[in-house]
Amino acid sequence: MNTAPGLVAILAYDGLCTFEFGIAVEIFGLARPEFDFQWYEHRIVAVDQGPMRAMGGIQVLADGNLDLLAQARTIIIPGWRDRNAAVPDPLIEALRHAHARGARLLSICSGVFVLAATGLLDGHGATTHWRYAAELAERFPLIQVDPDVLYVDSGQLITSAGSAAGIDACLHLVARDFGTQVANAVARRLVMAPQRTGGQAQFIPTPVSPTPRSDLSRVMQWARERLHEPLEVRDLASEAAMSERTFLRRFSEASGQSPKTWLQHERLGRARELLESSRHNTEQIALCCGYRSVESFRVAFRSVVGVPPSVYRERFGREGKAIS
């Protein structure tokens, strides 16, 4: 690494949500001897004075108070103790000052209500647990609340849905800093699937089938092995021996996204890996990932990843990575 990733400050307070807090500590605070570059520093920051109790009868000891936020490059806000509880003025001011100097602020689940109280989300997109989305939109009408996605990245502000989506949002930030391969390596150590993209649905109302949808799993693997081909939804449906209409319905029920969206993210995931690890030029990568033209590849990549392929390679390619 050419640049250190900086200090991650994880907020703690009385009534702390233990799982969301643990997510942040696991991803940003755990030692990473498997990497040959500097990992994040981390500190636990106390919002309240005195003993802080977390769910499950746990007491939390902090490394310092809100003054530590002045040193943080990234601040994690776990689920807030009560959506209706007032956010302390000193915390609001500390977060505003941190944001003004360029710090990234990431909320998990109901932690978005803390960010909302600062006014920093006004005019930006955000999400939270689907159960709280309507309340967030009603109380803070200047925020563009999306109740359907796993997380929203607005640059310095990242908000995530329910608890497990916080893992995806944190891994997304790792990918911004170190690239997809490193984020996926962290996911493997967590014994979980690679980080999901933010646009995936956070809630799928159809009950989980009692038996695995092996037909769809097989077709998805078949498609992954042929990403270099110009596959269409009809090709996946044919491989599954279903009508296109039936395949669309079953795929959406099982995954919470359309086959077209899934296929696009698979192609772009492969593209990110190639940009990080290979010396293929952009045209070659576009062909390897099934795009009919390099221009359509560039447009799709920038739309989903947020930067052009050339910039992504400069940041995360084998010649050296720079922190975004």
* Average pLDDT rounded to a whole number, residues 142-159: 92
pLDDT(293) > 70: yes
Alpha helices (H) in the chain, listed in sequence order? 18-24, 89-100, 112-118, 133-139, 163-178, 180-189, 214-224, 233-239, 244-255, 259-277, 282-288, 294-305, 309-316
The distance of Cα 92 from the centroid of its chain, to the nearest Å, equals: 24
Question: Can 7-189 and 212-324 be said to share one CATH topology?
Answer: no
The string of DSSP codes covering 185-240 is: HHHHHTTSPSPPPTTSBS---SPPPSS--HHHHHHHHHHHTTTTS---HHHHHHHT
pLDDT(272) > 80: yes
What residues does each domain of the chain span? 7-189, 212-324
* Contact partners, residue 294, CB within 8 Å, separation at least 6: 282, 283, 286
Q: Which CATH superfamily is 212-324 part of?
A: Homeodomain-like (1.10.10.60)
Q: What is the CATH number of domain 7-189?
A: 3.40.50.880
- Residue 142 backbone phi and psi in degrees, to 5: -80, -10
pLDDT(206) > 70: no
Q: Which of 133-147, 189-203, 240-254, 302-316 has the highest mean pLDDT?
A: 133-147
pLDDT(287) > 70: yes
pLDDT at 194: 63
pLDDT(321) > 80: no
Say how far apart CA 72 and CA 91 lie, in whole Å. 14
The single residue listed with the structure tokens 């955000």 is 126
Joined together, the tokens standing for residue 239 give 């491989």
Q: What is the mean pLDDT of the chain?
A: 88
Helix (H) or strand (E) holding 145: strand 144-145
Kindly report whether the global pTM for this prediction surpasses the value 0.85: no
pLDDT at 193: 64
Joined together, the tokens standing for residue 149 give 């996605």
Residue 195: which pLDDT band, with cuts at 50, 70 and 90?
A: low
- CA distances for 22 relative to 54, 195, 273, 311, angstroms: 11, 17, 29, 33
* Average pLDDT rounded to a whole number, residues 242-250: 92
| Better-scored residue on pLDDT, 273 or 12 | 12
Say how far apart CA 131 and CA 161 lie, in whole Å. 10
Say how far apart CA 201 and CA 179 lie, in whole Å. 23
Say how far apart CA 148 and CA 203 lie, in whole Å. 7
The SS3 of residue 74 is strand
User: Listing from the earlier edge strand, what are the strands of the sheet with 104-107?
Assistant: 41-46, 7-12, 74-77, 104-107, 157-160, 151-153
Which of 216, 176, 192 has the alpha carbon at shortest distance from 73? Answer: 176
Beta bridge partners of 112: none
pLDDT at 209: 39
Say how far apart CA 141 and CA 30 lie, in whole Å. 38
